Structure 1
């Protein structure tokens, strides 16, 4: 079933299920988005990823990657300047199916029609080889701080490793879009092995860095 949800687009964010992401909203259009969401008692928000070339029309509607994470707002606070600070908790993957036209004078922020991508949860005990490989890779990257991931699902482990790998954003997004958890885990582990062997090129530059005056 399709849903129409507001979208907060960024060029370097992947919101995976179980992740907690702090966001600071200060552009007028996104402040209006939060005001509308609070007034409607709405707590779900799409974290869209902007595709390369977004800088050219950032203030319009630059292209979004068609698979995105939907998050539930866990905390929200408005400061004295009217800006919003919030914590977004990733819930599941969504397919962006369309973006309706809007009246900027009424809704200056973007909304998208999305459909949930059903994903079966795979316990670590059901995929021991993948679980061991993912945990070893996480420990190599993060040391003892990776111990919190012991016992987590393959779905979660693959996503955590994916976002930490030094890959280009497009490569990360392509892996994020793999809905089958086992297949995603194997693909992420292959990318990790290729990096270890030096078989992957360094991440391609995606243009100017994300400007701090945009959110």
Structure 2
């Protein structure tokens, strides 16, 4: 993955990060996540981000054991790792909503959650160091560690699409670079919250691809469509 020109320098990363806790919304470094912002607290969060670093952290809330455990999902306990995205597209609708696109920059772990901003949105103190490589790119050894079996990934994806009733543009899928393919599939496929978190936390692209292959194959087998899978 090539670091975009608008990416922040590591030493300029903020010590405080506004977060958007949204279940099932996965942002990965290099990926793009469109968001429709309409709640007052998140409108304020977007305004604050635009006035500052333009960074917003996407963190999934922990799944609640029972319905009603958290009437406000935005107040639920969080997973410990999220991904910071930079606002790279911004628009405002006639009814006061914001339409933004976040481009994933790098992951972070939640060092601590801070008191809420006056407008009600949540903030954390992020630990950037464990994921510094997301922003600065890897060396030749790291690139080797990211290698994966692309043929098996595409085979598993076909089976997953068949049992899930999903469709894809196979010409585009086959033409995509490895990092673009893995990032797009991880973000777009309808995995559950814990599966998406596992993909986020995978240390390398290769491990993320292997995790996704396992998810595709398990889903296919669960639906009785396991013919042709390799283990």
1: CA distance between counterparts of 2:172 and 2:217?
21
User: Does 2:21 match 1:9?
Assistant: yes
Q: Among 177, 183, 189, which residue is 1:152 paired with?
A: 177
1: CA distance between counterparts of 2:73 and 2:211?
35
User: Does 2:86 match 1:75?
Assistant: no
**What is the deviation of 1:98?**
1.2
CA contact (8 A) 2:33 2:102 kept: yes
2: CA distance between counterparts of 1:22 and 1:175?
19
Matches within 5 A, 1:1-215: 3-40=15-52, 42-53=53-64, 56-58=70-72, 61-102=75-116, 104=117, 106-116=118-128, 117=131, 118-119=133-134, 120=138, 127=147, 130-138=149-157, 141=161, 142-145=167-170, 147-148=172-173, 150-153=175-178, 155-165=179-189, 167-198=191-222
Gaps of 5+ in 2: 1-10, 162-166, 225-231
1: CA distance between counterparts of 2:50 and 2:207?
38
Gaps of 5+ in 1: 201-215
1: CA distance between counterparts of 2:183 and 2:94?
36
Query: What is aligned with 2:228?
Result: none
SS of 2:35's partner is: strand
Task: Note the aligned Cα RMSD (angstroms).
Answer: 3.2
Number of equivalent positions: 195
2: CA distance between counterparts of 1:196 and 1:27?
38
**What is the deviation of 1:158?**
3.2
CA contact (8 A) 1:94 1:114 kept: yes
**What is the deviation of 1:165?**
4.7
TM-score where L is the length of structure 2: 0.69
Alignment deviations for residues 1-57 of structure 1 (CA, whole Å, 9 cap, x no partner): 7731111111120112232222111111111112222333x3111112122129524
Q: Which segment is superposed worse, 70-79 or 47-56?
A: 47-56
TM-score where L is the length of structure 1: 0.74
1: CA distance between counterparts of 2:97 and 2:222?
44
